[in-house]
């Protein structure tokens, strides 16, 4: 009874922390700007105060957006980042659809208030899709004109001006506008974009000319003014957080989420920002007693190299007297095994969505010359929105050559691994096939007979593809992935072959990769998707290590373990700033407006615009 009560308390604390607001006093705790002159000079000397450096980091981008809102030109910054995301999308259908949206939003739109668009096309679409049936896509617009907008009509009056843009060879023009767009781009570049869209063409380079004009405007005019503003001071104060070492004292541990071979995984909160993470605690004595320092450091290094929304990334690595602690992305939705046990099997739409995100995660892991070696339902976690991430790189190995040696989970492990042969990343695609089969049927694909174990069944039994839960496309995909010969296995040439399989035809890879395809399943926000804490103890083998004395040599071998991601720090701070700035009227920071220029009878409500 007492244990049950304690679990209820722990669950309440955990869910409350997950829903908690960010602290309101973070900026008060930061050093005043006038004490940071040496830090500013250090950033200048190391090339960290250029436009490109500031604009492409979370705090810098956020503070520049705030400045540009006050300057009535934030649409230029949002356009630039939208185009950068657009260029990353590889799927032609997705690019064409998003190209139309970007054109309509920034280049053709002259609606009231359009000149200070804060929300990107990607965020707008993400919100709109969340109201539609999950997993569906609108039909791409085939023609720019049919979408209800036309090329902007602009009358240009040359204007000679001396300024920083002249040094870059830019032409300063004052535009008397009949109809213009929100980013101040006109002429040939606009016409070229419209022509290509009218012909259903959307190459990655579609917006390059307009992008260059906008970025040069931001670089040579807006950025120097930003550097003299209160927003730059806030940027420097917030960025100074990177200088402070993060330690275990910066975190408060919450309830246990799970248990692994070397210790517990707990939810935790970073005290200064209120950000929730998962803390993988690794018992130092167990590591020393198992002579496994190299394995822990390899996992830490592999996690540091991860930079994908489909892999749980390392944010911090800290330690205390007893544990090494990896601070990872927290996933509030539990693992796929937890959900599959409860539901029996997943509908094909849901299984396909999960599989597609896992595929992108594996593709990223492989791009780092890493074989994952432990693809299974338990190692795929869901966040609170239903997106998947691969977790636990404890068995992963970085190599550019084939390796030999058993690693994995029986029933998932590829035949060549079980047989003791040399193998490469193709082994992961076999395990991926087992994962898909289990999601679709709730069963293992290789039925053990006569008391044989799961690995023996993988080695000697054919995959059972007769289940009525499998469509013809699913059978074809699984036959390729579960092929026992790695040279004939689907995926041995890379992830692209798997993506092109007909079973994945409903997936728009570009939108999925950019986070703009909504999940078909969203975990309940008030449920704790974690194992019951009652009666959970550490591994039995822990007893043999508890009396070990940590040696100086062992401690020295851990010298390279601590780590902190500046990007994680910046993202935390931006979340706090967004919360703190929620009621701010940025227009009070605007420079005094110049007297309004006269316009001719053809002018509209858009007024006068100057390209700087």
Question: Could you tell me the end-to-end alpha-carbon distance of the chain, in angstroms, rounded to an integer?
Answer: 70
Q: How far, in Å, are 433, 495, 501, 505, 562 from residue 438 at the CA level? A: 9, 20, 19, 20, 38
d(CA 122, CA 141): 16
Confirm whether 217 is a catalytic residue.
no
128 annotated to bind ligand: no
Report how far residue 407's alpha carbon sits from residue 405's, in angstroms, rounded to the nearest whole number.
Answer: 6
Task: Judge whether 429 and 492 are in contact, CB under 8 Å.
Answer: yes
Is residue 270 within 8 Å of residue 277, measured between CB atoms? yes
Residue 428: DSSP 8-state: H
Are 120 and 82 within 8 A, CB to CB?
Answer: yes
The burial class, CB within 10 Å (0-12 / 13-18 / 19+), for 209 is: middle
Which residue in 283, 323, 374, 383 is the catalytic one?
374
DSSP secondary structure of 562-586:
-EE-HHHHHHHHHHHHHHHTTT--G
Would you state the structure tokens that stand for residue 446, as one six-digit string?
């290789």
Q: How far is CA 456 from the centre of its chain?
A: 38
Where in 183-308 does DSSP place strands (E)?
A: 251-260, 263-270, 276-283
Tell which residue, 382, 391, 330, 362, has the closest CA to residue 521: 382
Q: What is the DSSP letter of 311?
A: B
- Known binding-site residues equal 280
- List the binding residues for ATP: 280
Active-site residue list: 374
């Amino acid at each position: 009874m007492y244990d049950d009560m304690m679990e209820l308390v722990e669950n309440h604390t955990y869910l409350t922390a997950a829903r908690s607001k960010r602290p309101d006093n973070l900026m008060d705790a930061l050093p005043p700007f006038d004490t940071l002159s040496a830090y500013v000079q250090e950033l200048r000397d190391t090339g960290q105060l250029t436009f490109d450096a500031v604009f492409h980091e979370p705090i810098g981008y956020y503070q520049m957006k705030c400045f540009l809102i006050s300057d009535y030109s934030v649409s230029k910054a949002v356009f630039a980042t939208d185009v950068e995301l657009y260029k990353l999308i590889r799927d032609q259908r997705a690019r064409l659809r998003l190209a139309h949206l970007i054109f309509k939003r920034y280049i053709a739109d002259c609606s009231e208030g359009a000149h200070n668009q804060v929300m990107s096309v990607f965020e707008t679409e993400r919100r709109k899709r969340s109201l539609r049936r999950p997993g569906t896509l609108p039909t791409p617009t085939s023609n720019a004109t049919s979408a209800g907008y036309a090329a902007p009509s602009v009358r240009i009056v040359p204007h000679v001006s001396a300024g920083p843009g002249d040094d870059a060879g830019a032409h300063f023009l004052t535009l008397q506008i009949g109809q213009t767009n929100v980013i101040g781009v006109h002429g040939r570049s606009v016409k070229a974009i419209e022509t290509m869209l009218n012909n259903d063409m959307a190459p990655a380079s579609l917006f390059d000319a307009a992008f260059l004009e906008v970025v040069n405007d931001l670089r040579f005019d807006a950025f120097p003014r930003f550097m003299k503003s209160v927003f730059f001071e806030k940027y420097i104060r917030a960025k100074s957080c990177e200088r402070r070492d993060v330690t275990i004292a910066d975190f408060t541990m919450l309830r246990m989420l799970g248990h692994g071979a070397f210790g517990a995984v707990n939810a935790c909160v970073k005290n200064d920002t209120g950000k929730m993470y998962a803390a993988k605690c690794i018992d130092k004595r167990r590591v020393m007693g198992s002579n496994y320092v190299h394995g822990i450091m390899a996992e830490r290094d592999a996690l540091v190299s991860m930079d994908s929304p489909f892999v749980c990334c390392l944010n911090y690595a800290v330690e205390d007297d007893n544990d090494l602690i990896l601070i990872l992305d927290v996933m509030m939705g539990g693992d796929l095994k937890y959900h599959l046990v409860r539901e029996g099997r997943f509908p094909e739409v849901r299984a396909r969505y999960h599989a597609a995100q896992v595929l992108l995660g594996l593709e990223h892991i492989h791009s780092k010359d890493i074989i994952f070696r432990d693809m299974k339902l338990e190692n795929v976690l869901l966040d609170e929105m239903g997106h998947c991430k691969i977790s636990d790189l404890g068995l992963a190995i970085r190599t550019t050559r084939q390796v030999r040696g058993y690693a994995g989970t029986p029933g998932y492990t590829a035949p060549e691994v079980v047989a003791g042969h040399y193998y490469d990343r193709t082994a992961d695609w076999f395990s991926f096939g087992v994962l898909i089969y289990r999601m679709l049927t709730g069963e293992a694909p290789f039925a053990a007979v006569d008391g044989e174990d799961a690995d023996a069944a993988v080695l000697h039994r054919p995959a059972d593809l007769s289940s009525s839960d499998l469509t013809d496309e699913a059978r074809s995909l699984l036959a390729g992935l579960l092929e026992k010969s790695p040279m004939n296995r689907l995926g041995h040439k890379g992830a692209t072959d798997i993506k092109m399989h007909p079973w994945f035809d409903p997936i728009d890879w570009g939108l999925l990769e950019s986070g703009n395809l909504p999940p078909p399943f969203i975990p309940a926000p008030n449920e704790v998707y974690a194992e019951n804490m009652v009666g959970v103890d550490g591994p039995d083998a822990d007893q043999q290590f508890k009396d070990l004395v940590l040696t100086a040599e062992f401690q020295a071998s851990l010298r390279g373990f601590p780590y902190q991601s500046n990007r994680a720090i910046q993202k935390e701070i931006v979340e706090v700033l967004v919360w703190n700035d929620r009621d701010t009227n940025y227009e009070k920071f605007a420079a005094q407006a110049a007297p309004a220029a006269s316009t001719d009878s053809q002018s509209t409500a858009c007024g006068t615009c100057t390209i700087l």
